[in-house]
Structure 1
Amino acid sequence: MNSPTAKIREGNNNDLAKMKQLFTDTITHICKKDYDDVQIEAWKLGAENEIRWQKVMENQYVLIAESNGEITGFISLDQGNYIDFLFVHKDYQNQGIAFQLYQLIEHEAIKQEKTFMTADVSKTAKPFFEKMGFSIVREQSVPVRGVELTNYKMEKKLL
């Protein structure tokens, strides 16, 4: 965590295009060590689900990390305790951005008096979530556009 603190703000609809681009770029470049090309391509297609992304912006607490006017990461909290998205730009990995975003989201969950947090976590993100105190509830095989992807249902007790 040797970078200066990223500027964090709440997300809005104007961020959607850049969020989706960051989502696909991160999956393409960062997740390739954990998933094969067919899995990566199926997963990236999630960026095309406009209704899903619109619902994220309308119904979830979304935080954006920025550096020099560029979105360097984002996180979303659904129903006060489910982390739906956590992605950091491929060029800003290992600089503490995910940690900053996560800390703010956990604070929000505590503020909402939630007693635990959950997430469905990729193989790539599992070590980060373990560092944040999450434990694996179960390994899952999730169908994404006809392709099976392994991820983990993880949970962390709060308070």
Structure 2
Amino acid sequence: MNSNISTNSQISIRNGNKDDLQKMLILFRETIGNVCKNDYTHDQLEAWKSGAENKERWENVICNQFILMAVHHHKIVGFCTLEKGDYIDLLFVHKDYQHQGIASQLYHQIEKEAVRQNKKYLTADVSKTAKSFFERAGFEIIKEQTVNVKGIDLINYKMEKKLTSSAE
């Protein structure tokens, strides 16, 4: 696949690779700690951020998922991953690059990949913080769920979107 998928307002979208892992982990932790702080308690944020310590999980992401990186002046400012062609596992945008259309650019490319793979639905487990973004993208809440991370309960949402082959 073309390594530079699209460019819009100086943000380029490219495929991710194993060399991106450390920067993905930093972005994951920092985004949760800053962007999600109005929706979750300190303990919930700390438990969620601890997911960055699960080496096996992140190696699985790098090896088995379709990964897109948003880059601005050689700096990774966001990423999105697609598991098995129909599950958005991770979608994070740097705290200093919120509300600039980066998540939308990443999502649009991920949806095109799912359609390319002839998937009928996209699903995601979505935080309170990201719920409105996914709703605007056409997802519907299947159910509210409580996940337990290191003894701490967090609320998120199982969401789904029916795809059409004309997702452009």
* Residue number among 96, 100, 106 corresponding to 2:111 in the alignment: 106
> Quick check: 1:74 aligned with 2:79?
yes
Shift of 1:4: 1.0
Runs of 4+ in 1 over 2 A off after TM superposition: none
Helix, strand or coil at the partner of 1:41: helix
Shift of 1:5: 4.5
Q: Please name the residue that 1:140 is paired with.
A: 145
Helix, strand or coil at the partner of 1:34: coil
User: What letter is aligned with 1:154?
Assistant: M
TM-score, length basis structure 2 = 0.92
TM-score, length basis structure 1 = 0.97
Shift of 1:6: 1.2
Runs of at least 5 residues in structure 1 that lack an aligned partner in the other structure: none
Runs of at least 5 residues in structure 2 that lack an aligned partner in the other structure: 1-7
> Quick check: 1:9 aligned with 2:3?
no
CA–CA separation in structure 2 for the residues paired with 1:33 and 1:21: 20
Shift of 1:101: 0.2
Q: Please name the residue that 2:5 is paired with.
A: none
The CA RMSD measured in Å over matched residues stands at: 0.8
How many residues get paired?
157
Structure ranking higher in helix proportion: 1
* Residue number among 24, 38, 44 corresponding to 1:39 in the alignment: 44
Shift of 1:8: 0.6
Name which structure has the greater RCO, CA cutoff 8 Å, separation 6+: 1
CA–CA separation in structure 2 for the residues paired with 1:6 and 1:78: 24
Shift of 1:145: 1.0
User: What letter is aligned with 1:11?
Assistant: G
